[in-house]
Amino acid sequence: MSSSQKIKLIQAAKGKISADLLIANVNLINTISGKIHLTDVAVKDGTVIGFGKYQAEKIIDGQGAYLSPGFIESHIHIESTLLAPHVFARTVASKGTTAVVCDPHEIANVLGSTGIEYFVKSTAHLPVAIYFTLPSCVPATHLENAGAALGVKEMKYLLEKFPYRFKGLGEMMNFPGVINGDPEVLAKLEFAENLIIDGHAPGLTGKDLNAYILAGPKSDHECVHYDQAKEKLEKGMHIMIRQGTSEHNMEELIPLVNDHNWPNFSLVSDDRHPEDLVRSGHLDDNLRRAVSLNMDPVRAIQLVTINPARYFGLKRRGAIAPGYQADMVLLENIDDFKIRKVFIQGKELDELSFNEEIAPPGNSMHIRNLSEKSFEITAQGKKVRAIEVVPGQIVTKTAIVSPKLVNGLAQADPDIGLVKLTVMERHRATGNVGLGFVLGLGFKNGAIAATVAHDSHNLIIAGTNDHDMFTAAMEAQKMGGAMVAVQGGKVLTALPLPIAGLMSNKSLEEVVDGMNELNNACRHMGFKHENPFMILSFLALPVIPELKLTDKGLVDVNKFEIVDLWVE
């Protein structure tokens, strides 16, 4: 802020010149004092200048509604929404979110620095402030092939080119590399020692957790149980209580928050699917859930405003007070957090533009020698390790099952819920194909395919027969990335994802309609799960226990190694 700008604001704060906006008669939610008080709030040049009576160009009577600071999302992967960044920003702004810290490791695993730069440039002039963390695990592990590698050299380049957009190092998922002193991992932590370092340590405890924290990570969003979060809190970690589409940890963890430790918590989404954004909301939904679990409403709001702002050093955000940016949400009440108006830098949403002028990256689908034979599993015994789906979780179990054996080939057996699973490398046309089985997806006939497959986002296909699996894979390739449902050799429906094979270039409404058509097609095929593609996407994630499949083969996550499909 220049001296002339500051002088102008000082004059306005003193009442010597008119404010631009006065929101009168509101119950101000003061996230600094922790209290609610009735007042008027004045704004000049996008900045809060004070409380009380002011002359203003525009006056809005709040009629006793509640005025909260704009909500801050401190851990999300925008790619999980399937929305282009500008569509995502417009969507969450309507839900009260005015700032976001995003970890772009999904697009980074596909396109590397090019993908990250697309994100940074395409969000540079949006009303919602979108910050980033530098992805720490690209590729996520050595157990799969990603589309790129992001090391210290690339991180340094991004940080120097966009110094104000990166707020830290993204979640350090390679906790085995940290605690075992992997030189490349330690080099990244050393590079980021003066930055915020986000953690990712599911199930880590005791001395291993001590070693992990000592190395640098200072937050964790992977706590599933109360005792896990309690230990990490006591050892100095900032606990991000996750309530997204695929992980629901709030009910278990909210009781840990009290009057003494609350500054060390934030409410986050991690992932939020487009249908969920429409049906339930964003952080406003997290607030409703927190209050329904008996958290004080002001305390809940602090966990999505002042706490994330302080953790990430987001200056002039997270509160409504003189000198703070005028990002504010006018709420009908603090029970269901119904939103009346959203202000960003003192302007209402309908005054703001969310247009994007940056062209997205080109085609990211490169698959070699794809044919029906790509899906054949030669019989090498009678029993196999199969990934067993755990309802409502992204963790999986290991099941030992007997597939059908026909003419020397292992086949799916839908009668016992066993279907084939394939992961194909799609970034560099290596021809790598991982083959396996999955138990518990619950469909009887057909195939589904997606280019959203965490974290390397290769092409993943589940199906009851090779022909449908091949058809689904060909359709995804033709579209440059997609989610596809096939039955009887016919494409029932597909949602194109031309942005890195991860995101659509369509509107929120079109994406939601496309997902609804996919889910309806899956129900027609016999799926029992609410969101089959969400489950499918995590079956290739080799950093979440217990058994997963990558393009290199079947991964025992607990051992962190490739294991044989056949057991006998």
Would the pLDDT of 393 be above 80? no
What's residue 404's pLDDT? Answer: 95
Would the pLDDT of 63 be above 90? yes
What's residue 2's pLDDT? Answer: 86
Calculate mean pLDDT across residues 49-78.
97
Would the pLDDT of 141 be above 90? no
Would the pLDDT of 560 be above 90? no
DSSP string, 28-48: EEETTTTEEEEEEEEEETTEE
Strands (E), 339-417: 339-344, 347-348, 384-389, 396-401, 404-406, 409-411
Distance in angstroms (rounded) separating the CA atoms of residues 356 and 184: 36
Which DSSP letter does residue 270 get? B
pLDDT band at 428 (very low <50, low <70, confident <90, very high): very high
Distance in angstroms (rounded) separating the CA atoms of residues 261 and 567: 49
Would the pLDDT of 357 be above 80? no
Calculate mean pLDDT across residues 482-487.
98
For residue 346, report the phi and psi dihedrals to the nearest 5 degrees.
80, 5
Contacts of 528 (CB under 8 A, 6+ apart): 442
Calculate mean pLDDT across residues 361-368.
90
What's residue 122's pLDDT? Answer: 96
Please tell me whether residue 312 adopts helix, strand or coil conformation.
helix
Determine the straight-line distance between the first and last CA of the chain, rounded to whole angstroms. 70
Contacts of 21 (CB under 8 A, 6+ apart): 42, 43, 56, 57, 58, 59, 60, 326, 343, 346
Q: What is the pLDDT of residues 19-28, one digit of tens each?
A: 999 999 999 9
- ∠ CA 85-486-563, nearest 5°, is 80
Domain ranges (residues) in the chain: 70-316, 372-563
Q: Are 418 and 401 in contact (CB under 8 A)?
A: yes
Long-range residue pairs from 151-156, CB within 8 A, at least 24 positions apart, any chain: 151/184, 151/187, 151/188, 152/187, 152/188, 152/191, 154/112, 154/113, 155/188, 155/191, 155/192, 156/191
Distance in angstroms (rounded) separating the CA atoms of residues 28 and 42: 12
Supply 380's token pair.
């090498």
Helix segments in 479-531, DSSP class H: 508-524
Cis before 182 (ω within 30): no
Phi-psi group of 487: left, alpha or beta (phi > 0 → left; psi -120 to 50 → alpha; rest → beta):
beta
Window from 148-157, 243-252, 356-365, 374-383 with minimum mean pLDDT: 356-365
Q: At what angle do helices 152-161 and 113-122 cross, to 10 degrees?
A: 20
Would the pLDDT of 394 be above 90? no
Contacts of 12 (CB under 8 A, 6+ apart): 18, 19, 42, 44, 45, 49, 54
pTM above 0.85, yes or no: yes
Q: Please, is 259 exposed, middle or buried when counting C-beta atoms within 10 Å of its C-beta (0-12, 13-18, 19+)?
A: exposed
Domain 70-316 class in CATH? alpha beta
What is the average pLDDT score of the chain? 95
Q: At what angle do helices 152-161 and 183-191 cross, to 10 degrees?
A: 20
pLDDT band at 165 (very low <50, low <70, confident <90, very high): very high
- ∠ CA 239-332-74, nearest 5°, is 20
pLDDT band at 209 (very low <50, low <70, confident <90, very high): very high
Supply 555's token pair.
């991964």
